[in-house]
Every structure is written in C-alpha cells, then in structure tokens.
Chains A and B, each alone.
Chain A
Amino acid sequence: MSKRNKKGLKKGFWHDAWHRLKKNKSAMFALITLVALIICAILADYIAPYQYDLQDYNHTFEFPSKQHLLGTDNFGRDMLSRIIYGSRISLLVGFSSIIAAIIFGGLLGAVSGYYGGKVDNILMRAMDILMAIPGMLLAISLAAALKPGLFNLVIAIAIADIPGYARVVRASVLTIKDQEYIEAAQCIGASDSRIIFRHIIPNCLAPIIVQATLGMAGAILSASALSFLGLGIQPPTPEWGSMLSSARQYIRTYWHMTTFPGVAIMITIFALNVLGDGLRDALDPRLKN
C-alpha cells in the first residue's frame, strides 16, 4: 500500500504509476533519451561544435569525418550542429502544439461531455467536420493559409489535433460524470466550472497524458512533414523536415544529407512512442495489482 497524504488516494495513484513506470526498462530508457534531447536543445549553444549558419565554401558536401561528425551540407554548414539546433524547433513545435490542442480540445470535450444535449451535439458535429478532412491535408491547407513560421505552424498542427483530444476527454467525462462524488459535489452546491476543473479534469488526466505523449510524436512528424513540403519552418533556420527537403535534390550523390536529419526524427519519435506505451501500462488501473 502506498503512502497516503493529505490528498488521500489521488497522490497514491500517481505515486504507484511512477513506481510501475520505473520498473519498465524500455520506458525509462526512452525517458532518459528524451531528457537528453531536451538538454541538447536547451544547451545547443554550448554543445554544438559549430554555429548552425556558419557557411564554409571550402568544405561543402563533405561526408562524415573527424572535423564534421555527420558531414556538411551544400553551404558547408556542419550537419551535426544543424541537427542539434533543429531539435529546438521540433521539440518546441511538438510540445506547444500539443499543449494548445489539449487546452482547446480538452475544454471542448469537457464542456460537451458534461453538459450533454444540444451543446454536446453542436460541438461534436463541429468536431465531426474537422475529423472528416484527412488530418495531414487539414494541417497543410491551414499552414498554407497562415503563412510559414513557427507560431503558425503550431496553430496549424494544433487545430488539426483538437478533435482527437475533444473526443478522448468527452469519453472520459461521460464515464466520470455519473459517479457519486460528482453528484455529491453538485449536492453541496459546487458550480459547474468548479466541478469541471476540480473534479472532472484531474480524474481524466491519465488518458490525456498517454494521448499527449503519443500525440507529441504525431505533432513532431506533422511539423517535419509540413516543413518538408515548404509550408513550415523556412531555411536557413535549421529544422529536421526542412533540412530533408533541401537535401532531397542531392539524394543521388550525398546520402548523408538525407539520412541524418531523418534518424534524428526517428529517435525522437521512437522515444516518445516507447514512453507513451510505458505510460499507458503504468497508468492503466486494470493492470494495477
């Protein structure tokens, strides 16, 4: 039995979940990888061997060597440094678009699940419309409408992700709403917003956290795809997708330019997916002994 504190069982649940997660070796490995990536992104100025925009025309298209561990690109810029700086953009876009999608999608889902009836019907039909447009296409057309740039990229990806979160939260709210403690809160006269924010949202956090971890992987993939199509981050800012896009024309001769940015994406997504799976196992009360 885990320790109970003032908050009672709630703390125990997260405490237990963390214990279960710690036992999962691959999830911990993924967590460490992610923390390392985040540190890399924050300390890029100190870690990167060169400036990301330092052009050296005497050393263009160099294959990996001791001076340039991952080679250089068509402007003689160091690939490793660009990938390290690129992690900033990818992690930032992934994180902020998921936060935005969770806040808006979560609110819509909570409101629509809690009130039901007409509100639910209208909101969910609006979500159906967004869901009917293939996600990638929606993100692409939004990105085109909003002009390229970091902030707009985040908005485009977030809007395309909102319906998914709205549905997850609505489903959890529907199961929670009829429980006795909500009824009790209503009886003692708690306001609707208090019930939603204090009782319902904390209780459906677990599925949201899992969805968010896996969703962040999806958001980073979308961001790199949009940049690859020229609709996201514009060069010379290093972003993994746009690096792939500019490397594409040299694919026949300089393989290293297309390989490494993709590997960086893959490692990040892989870590997020493994961590997401681990979190799902850790947070699923059905597996709780």
Chain B
Amino acid sequence: MSRYIGKRLLMMIPVLLGVIVVVFSIMYMTPGDPARMILGETAPASAVEELRETLGLNDSYFSQLLNYVKNVVFKFDLGNSYSSKKPVIDEILERFPTTILLATLSVAISVIVGVSMGIVSATKQYSIFDKIATSISLLGVSMPTFWAGLMAVIIFSVHLRWLPASGSYGWKYWILPSLTLGLSSSATIMRMTRSSMLEVIRQDYIRTARAKGQNERVVIIYHALKNAMIPVITVIGMRFGTLLGGSVLIESVFAIPGLGKFIIDSINMRDNPVVQGGVLLLALSFSICNLLVDILYGYLDPRIKSQYKLSKKRGLKKNVEA
C-alpha cells in the first residue's frame, strides 16, 4: 500500500508541472498588459516600459516560463503579487482556509442530507417520499448554484431578514453560502446513495441477513450501508475537490474573501503570479483529494486493495484507471 501511495505521489509531480505550463501559457495569452494595469491608464509609456523590464515581461515566452518553473521547483517561490507586492504564497495561504472551511461545511451538509435521504429513498423505493425526494434532487442538480445563492439572498436576507446577504464577519455569514453549496451538492450524493443502496439491497447476503431474523435497522445500517457507501465515498471525495475550485461563483455571490474570489479578481487585474499560484495550489489539493479517496477506497473494499498489490506486477497503468 505504501508503495502504491509513493508511486501516486511521484506521478503527481509531472501532472503539476504540466499544470504550471498550461496555466502559465493561458495567462501569457491573456490580452492586456499587467504593467499598464498596475500603473493605471494615465502612466507615461516610459514608466510602463521600465516596469515591464523589471517584471521580466519583455523576455521571450520560454525564458519567462523557464524562470517561473525554476523558481517554483527549486526555491518554492511563486513570485510576488503584482498588485499588493507581497509574496503570492502568503497571499493565497491567507485566503485558502476560508475556501477550505466553506468546502468542508458544504460537504458536511451535503453528506448529512444526501446520505440520509438516499437511504430512506432506497429502502422505501417508489413510495411518495422517494418520488418527492428524487424529483427535488433532480431539481437541485439542475439549478445553477450561483442562482440558488441569489434566490437564497432574496428569500432569507431581503424578505425574511434572517441572515446577512454578503461578507464574512461571523458565523451567521457562513450559513447561506454553505447551505446553498451543501444542498445543491447533496442532490448528487443523494442520487448516488440511492442507486448504490438499491443495488446492494438486492444482494443475496442481505436476504440472508433478513432470513436469519436480523432487525431491519441493523440490516440496513451494518450490512447494506457499509457496502453501499463505497461508490458514495468517491463521489463525496471528488465533490470536496470540486468544491475547492468550484466555490468561485458562490464566493463571488456572497463576497466571501476566499481563494476562488481572489483568483477571479486577479484574472481581471491581470495579476498573473497570483492566478498561477492559486490554480497550482487548487490543482495540488484536488490531486491530493483524489489520492485520499483512492486510498480510502482500498481500506473500505479489500478487493480493491488486493488489486493495488497485484498492479505492482502489471505496472502503474491499471492503478490510474482504478
């Protein structure tokens, strides 16, 4: 197992290098002159030219890219933000906890709501509850999260005046954004739990458990749920990864000073080092999330664990597909 984890960690290195190259190239192509953005419209052309020279913007694409990669890999230096002049690494790490907190809260909500609704729907298949829950979840999947956020603002802050609409100055400010994100991702988790439970409930060992007179609740929780949760956990893990990068819109709807909003603002200000560093950090956490899910998978399902061991002989390819 540790050999497998080591291999996966090593494989992350080329992927992240690739991410650096892709993001660098995208930002290089983006129209607009960062030096002009920093100095403003009225600055004289000579000053802009001088700043371009100091920032290294006049170098060729390859020497800029090489320089950037060298700094990241050997000095772990993501450069300085153009607008605040502070090191990018400090700037993004200052905002990352906010994004992590938002993602964690939302995932917690979506797991509680999604898994419990999924179980009830599956155990009472085709009941009224099941029909209502599946249609609501389908509606939830169909709603753009940013619009759901706006609707929540209209209902809960404008009309009912229960909760603040935007900002982050205390726990009250977290309720609407995390509920919006959490409930909208609970729809996916509910659908996954339901279909996975339905598949497991029809297995022979569940019939055996029932046949020996086991309490229905014990059958559902200990026999069925444990096995049904395996695919659900993948979805939850991937959801967490997506939320880290996908909370961009909710952060901008609710004006939460997280990493996503910071990256968007920096794209608009052409603050390239921040965008590159921010996306790199998100890609890194996304990859780590996926790795953790795969490891957890192995612990939950011994069949998969034995596959990891087998794959030693067959090379890495099968692992990636798993």
Residues in chain A within 8 A of chain B (CB atoms): 121, 124-126, 128-130, 132-137, 140-142, 144-147, 171, 217, 221, 224-225, 228-229, 241, 244, 248, 251-252, 255, 258-259, 261-262, 265-266, 269-270, 273-274, 277
B23 CB contact (under 8 Å) in A121, A141, A146, A255 = A141
B155, chain A: closest CB distance, angstroms: 9
Query: Other CB < 8 Å A-B pairs besides A228-B144, A262-B151, A266-B144, 18 of them?
Result: A125-B14, A132-B15, A133-B19, A133-B245, A134-B282, A137-B245, A141-B23, A217-B142, A224-B144, A225-B146, A251-B150, A258-B147, A261-B147, A262-B144, A262-B150, A266-B142, A269-B142, A273-B141
**CB-contacts of B237-289 with A (<8 A):** 241-242, 244-246, 248-249, 252, 260, 263-264, 267-268, 275, 279, 282-283, 286-287
Write 26 A-B pairs (CB below 8 A) sorted by A numbering: A124-B320, A125-B15, A128-B18, A134-B282, A134-B286, A136-B246, A140-B248, A140-B267, A141-B267, A145-B27, A217-B142, A225-B144, A229-B249, A244-B146, A244-B150, A251-B154, A251-B158, A258-B147, A259-B151, A259-B154, A262-B151, A265-B143, A265-B144, A266-B142, A266-B147, A273-B142
Residue of B nearest to A171 (CB): B321
- Quick check: A129 and B26 within 8 Å, CB to CB? no
- Quick check: B248 and A129 within 8 Å, CB to CB? no
Q: Evaluate whether A229 and B287 lie within 8 angstroms (CB atoms) in the complex, with A128-B15, A137-B248, A251-B150 already known.
A: no
Q: State whether the Cβ of B153 lies closer than 8 Å to any Cβ in chain A.
A: yes
Chain B, interface size category, equals 35 or more
Q: Which residues of A contact B19 (CB under 8 A)?
A: 129, 132-133
Q: Which residues of A contact B153 (CB under 8 A)?
A: 251
Q: Evaluate whether A274 and B138 lie within 8 angstroms (CB atoms) in the complex, with A141-B23, A144-B30, A144-B267 already known.
A: yes
Q: Which residues of B contact A252 (CB under 8 A)?
A: 158
**In terms of DSSP, what is the predominant structure of the interface of chain A?**
helix
Q: State whether the Cβ of B139 lies closer than 8 Å to any Cβ in chain A.
A: yes
Q: Evaluate whether A145 and B147 lie within 8 angstroms (CB atoms) in the complex, with A136-B246, A136-B248 already known.
A: no
- Quick check: B29 and A134 within 8 Å, CB to CB? no
Could you give, for residues 214-255 of chain B, a 1 whenever the CB lies within 8 Å of some chain A CB and a 0 otherwise?
A: 000000000000000000000000000110111011001000
Q: Which residues of A contact B321 (CB under 8 A)?
A: 171
Q: Which of B15, B146, B147, B320 has the most CB of A within 10 A?
A: B147
B199, chain A: closest CB distance, angstroms: 12
Q: State whether the Cβ of B22 lies closer than 8 Å to any Cβ in chain A.
A: yes
Q: Which of A133, A225, A248, A255 has the most CB of B within 10 A?
A: A133
Q: Which residues of A contact B275 (CB under 8 A)?
A: 141
Residue of B nearest to A146 (CB): B29
B138 CB contact (under 8 Å) in A135, A259, A270 = A270
- Quick check: A132 and B16 within 8 Å, CB to CB? yes
Q: State whether the Cβ of B31 lies closer than 8 Å to any Cβ in chain A.
A: yes
Q: Which residues of A contact B320 (CB under 8 A)?
A: 124, 128
**What's the Cα separation between A130 and B283 when bound, in Å?**
10
**What's the Cα separation between A130 and B244 when bound, in Å?**
16
Residue of B nearest to A241 (CB): B144
Q: Which residues of A contact B146 (CB under 8 A)?
A: 225, 228, 244
- Quick check: B27 and A134 within 8 Å, CB to CB? no
B262, chain A: closest CB distance, angstroms: 12
The 7 closest A-B pairs by CB, nearest first: A134-B245, A129-B18, A262-B147, A269-B142, A270-B142, A145-B30, A132-B283
- Quick check: A132 and B287 within 8 Å, CB to CB? yes
**What's the Cα separation between A259 and B19 when bound, in Å?**
38
**What's the Cα separation between A258 and B151 when bound, in Å?**
8
**What's the Cα separation between A244 and B129 when bound, in Å?**
33
A122, chain B: closest CB distance, angstroms: 11
Q: Which residues of A contact B283 (CB under 8 A)?
A: 132-134
**What's the Cα separation between A224 and B242 when bound, in Å?**
18
Q: Evaluate whether A133 and B22 lie within 8 angstroms (CB atoms) in the complex, with A140-B267, A248-B150 already known.
A: yes
